[in-house]
Amino acid sequence: MSSFFRPAFCAAALAAAVLAQTVHAGEVQVAVAANFTAPAKEIAVEFEKETGHKVIPSFGSTGQFYAQIGQGAPFEVFLAADDTTPAKLEQEGQTVAGSRFTYAIGALVLWSAREDYVDAKGEILRKGGFEHLSIADPRKAPYGVAAVETLTRMGLKDALQARIVQGNNISQAHQFVSTGNAELGFVALSQVYKDGKVTGGSAWIVPAELYEPIRQDAVILAKGKDNAAAGAFVEYLKGAKAGAIIQSYGYRK
142 and 82 Cβ atoms separated by less than 8 Å: yes
- Tell me 60's DSSP state: E
Q: What is the CA radius of gyration of the chain?
A: 21
Predicted pLDDT at 5: 39
Domain boundaries, the chain: 27-105+215-248, 106-210
Predicted pLDDT at 134: 98
The confidence band for 253, taking pLDDT boundaries of 50, 70 and 90, is confident
- Is it true that domain 27-105+215-248 has CATH number 3.40.190.10? yes
Give the pLDDT mean for 188-203: 96
Q: What is the DSSP string of 3-31?
A: TTTHHHHHHHHHHHHHHHHHHH--EEEEE
Q: What residues are paired with 57 via a beta bridge?
A: 30
Euclidean distance between CA atoms 226 and 213, whole angstroms: 33
Would you say the CATH fold of 106-210 matches that of 27-105+215-248?
yes
Q: Is 128 left (phi over 0), alpha (psi -120 to 50) or beta?
A: left
21 has a pLDDT exceeding 90: no
Euclidean distance between CA atoms 17 and 5, whole angstroms: 18
The confidence band for 9, taking pLDDT boundaries of 50, 70 and 90, is very low
Which CATH class name applies to 106-210?
alpha beta
Considering only CA atoms, which of 243, 251, 218, 216 is closest in space to residue 108? Answer: 251
16-25, 75-84, 227-236: segment of lowest average pLDDT: 16-25
Predicted pLDDT at 11: 45
Predicted pLDDT at 24: 63
